[in-house]
Structure 1
């Protein structure tokens, strides 16, 4: 004779059986279907593409709001002042002062 299972064990077993049945049904339903390829998944409408390109041009991401330009304007002024002083020079300006681009030395 088989040993009678406790309520916990019985419920666990029933859950497993239910899960297996669901998976089998899903397999039967999805037999004719195939997974979409990478390109198909990524296809978007023309309007959506245009919006994405505009956001990229502005440096935005989905869900993020555009940052205010006041801070950037202030930063630009600071950089200009520093350049006038001679502290924050760009790479190109430094190279021009030195006399063109530096050549790589061979080891």
Structure 2
């Protein structure tokens, strides 16, 4: 892993649905935020990484009707190469902590 870890937590991630026929699925991933990147892992194996300097925006997402409890606190990371990454925190406090840290990292 890179440099000093700012935040590290197991969060829910929505699949990026690279094919139009792929169903949406949600998997727990270990998210690690450093000064230079936001990475996520599955069983210690890096599955993806976004350079902080390439993040366009980070914001909360409106809930869909009948959203399950595990997906009540979503936020999205807009990235100039990969598009949108949807992440779900376990509660509002932790979502705000991630949003705040990601906003600080962009400036």
TM-score of the superposition, structure 1-length normalised?
Answer: 0.18
Structure of greater Rg: 1
Higher normalized strand content (fraction of residues): 2
Structure with the larger helix share = 1
1 or 2 for the larger relative contact order (CA 8 Å, sep ≥6)?
Answer: 2
